[in-house]
């Protein structure tokens, strides 16, 4: 590698937004094939059970296409089998064509879980017997919910994992190690079956080894990030440590270039690597579209908090699990993306029984003016969001839309 190629902050943001599906017209029709293509482009979509506004995976997809319909996502998972659920940094939906690259992760989980104190405390002393019982039940009966196996189990232990008795723990073990898969969800509860019955046969093998996993994960991450440090490469699919990504970079110097990416105002530039044809990729990235949209707390743009702060100058923390007195903003605060900038954050809450979406509070970033045009654009976006989540009325409790 030679002298690093300088990349302006604006160009860096433009490329990242384009790669993450945030530089295309949102009104275009999105059919199931288009939805699958979008998920493939993103690499994964994080799942989340919190429905304060709407579950995060639906918000991630809606922020890119207003025509997104949740039923299409369920169809891709439970009927078409084009996506599957598993773990990257968290539970995600992932293109099934990549299933073979999860085998090394399954093997690592098999070892690490059995050494995990939490696992041993939850499953009890006779772990192998419990796992075998759950495995045999699913093999014989097919589609299985955790409550069907946990009936009658007593668990007096308290804490954040209360309710995780031996059967539930065995289910999670079998899922993390690849023996069972999620067939579908019902009220967001997983329904499992044996993996061979869920994942189409063409995606079962040959299983990737750790060398193939590293090549795939680093390459796929760089395709989606545009440029990355070794830590960013490792964090994208969370398959290995930064030292493994560093070794991949060293082995692939003939395919890569070094770049120096300017930070947001007040942030120093950072060194990264990119594909050798980076300049062509950058030249082909479209300009960000005007307009305003709210992003999910786990949107790929902000999920890596360090990268979001470096590129956008946006210091973001998801505070749902922070005690209320210690929150800086609120329980479920969504970033606001405007063009190529993160300009604010909105504290939102959906009341489905009352059929309202409420703007509870609103903060614009330093230097962003709350003009009438910006307020009108936010009101229009929140009205569209209200329709998407299935409520009739947008309520403004902070006069943020009125000014």
Cα dihedral 219, 220, 222, 223 in deg (nearest 10): 110
* pLDDT tens-digit series, residues 229-252: 999 999 999 999 999 999 999 999
C-alpha–C-alpha distance, residues 57 and 299, integer Å: 8
Task: Give the pLDDT score at 116.
Answer: 86
Contact 330, 347 (CB under 8 A): yes
C-alpha–C-alpha distance, residues 125 and 41, integer Å: 44
Rounded to two decimals, the pTM is 0.94
Contact 334, 296 (CB under 8 A): yes
Does position 124 have pLDDT exceeding 50, yes or no?
yes
* pLDDT tens-digit series, residues 355-368: 999 999 999 999 99
Q: Which residues pair with 351 in a beta bridge?
A: 356
Task: Give the pLDDT score at 164.
Answer: 67
Question: Phi/psi at 31 (nearest 5 deg)?
Answer: -90, -175
**Per-residue DSSP letters for 196-242?**
HHHS-GGGS-SPP-HHHHHHHHHHHHHHHHSSB-HHHHHHHHT-S-H
Does position 158 have pLDDT exceeding 70, yes or no?
no
CA-CA-CA-CA torsion sign (349, 91, 213, 143) = negative
Q: How is residue 362 written in tokens? A: 């609103």
Q: Which residues pair with 93 in a beta bridge?
A: 45, 85
Does position 185 have pLDDT exceeding 60, yes or no?
yes
Task: Give the pLDDT score at 120.
Answer: 83
C-alpha–C-alpha distance, residues 222 and 309, integer Å: 19
Question: Phi/psi at 215 (nearest 5 deg)?
Answer: -65, -45
* pLDDT tens-digit series, residues 38-94: 999 999 999 999 999 999 999 999 999 999 999 999 999 999 999 999 999 999 999
Task: Give the pLDDT score at 151.
Answer: 58
HEC letters along 42-89: HCCEECCCCCCCCCHHHHHHHCCCCCCCHHHHHHHHHCCCCEEEEECC
* pLDDT tens-digit series, residues 307-336: 999 999 999 999 999 999 999 999 999 999
Task: Give the pLDDT score at 403.
Answer: 65
| The residue to which tokens 């590293």 are assigned | 214
* pLDDT tens-digit series, residues 197-232: 999 999 987 899 999 999 999 999 999 999 999 999
Task: Give the pLDDT score at 147.
Answer: 84
* pLDDT grade for 152, boundaries at 50, 70 and 90: low
Does position 290 have pLDDT exceeding 90, yes or no?
no
Q: Compare 153 and 173 and report the one with higher pLDDT.
A: 173
C-alpha–C-alpha distance, residues 143 and 184, integer Å: 9
* pLDDT tens-digit series, residues 1-24: 578 999 999 999 999 999 999 999
Task: Give the pLDDT score at 117.
Answer: 84
């Amino acid at each position: 590698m030679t002298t690093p190629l300088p990349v302006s902050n604006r160009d860096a943001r433009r490329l990242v937004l384009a790669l993450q599906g945030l530089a295309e017209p949102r009104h275009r029709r999105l059919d199931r094939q288009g939805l699958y293509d979008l998920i493939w482009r993103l690499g994964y979509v994080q799942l989340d059970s919190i429905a304060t506004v709407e579950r995060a995976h639906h918000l991630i997809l809606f922020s890119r296409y207003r025509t997104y319909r949740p039923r299409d996502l369920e169809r891709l998972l439970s009927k078409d089998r084009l996506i599957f659920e598993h773990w990257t940094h968290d539970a995600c939906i992932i293109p099934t064509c990549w299933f073979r690259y999860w085998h090394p992760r399954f093997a690592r989980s098999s070892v690490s879980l059995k050494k995990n104190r939490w696992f041993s405390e939850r499953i009890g002393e006779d772990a192998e017997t419990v796992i075998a019982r759950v495995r045999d039940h699913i093999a014989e009966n097919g589609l299985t919910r955790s409550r069907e196996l946990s009936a009658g189990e007593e668990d007096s232990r308290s804490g954040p994992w209360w309710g995780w008795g031996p059967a539930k723990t065995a289910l999670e073990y079998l899922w993390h190690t690849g023996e069972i898969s999620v067939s579908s969800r019902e009220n967001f509860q997983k329904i499992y079956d044996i993996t061979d019955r869920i994942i189409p046969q063409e995606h079962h093998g040959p299983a990737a080894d750790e060398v193939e996993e590293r090549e795939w994960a680093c390459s796929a991450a760089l395709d989606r990030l545009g440029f990355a440090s070794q830590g960013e490469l490792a964090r994208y699919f969370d398959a290995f440590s930064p030292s493994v990504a560093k070794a991949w970079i060293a082995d692939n110097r003939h395919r890569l270039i070094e770049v120096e990416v300017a930070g947001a105002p007040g942030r120093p530039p950072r060194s990264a690597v990119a594909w050798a044809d980076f300049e062509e990729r950058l030249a082909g990235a479209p300009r960000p579209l005007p307009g305003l949209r709210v992003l999910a707390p786990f949107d790929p743009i902000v999920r890596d908090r360090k990268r979001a702060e470096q590129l956008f100058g946006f210091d973001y923390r998801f505070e749902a699990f922070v005690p209320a007195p210690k929150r800086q903003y609120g329980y479920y605060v969504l970033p606001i993306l405007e063009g190529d900038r993160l300009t604010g954050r909105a504290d939102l809450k959906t009341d489905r029984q009352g059929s309202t979406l409420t703007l509870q509070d609103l903060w614009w970033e330093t230097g962003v003016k709350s003009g009438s045009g910006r307020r009108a654009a936010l009101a229009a976006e929140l009205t569209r969001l209200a329709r998407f989540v299935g409520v009739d009325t947008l309520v403004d409790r902070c006069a943020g839309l009125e000014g």
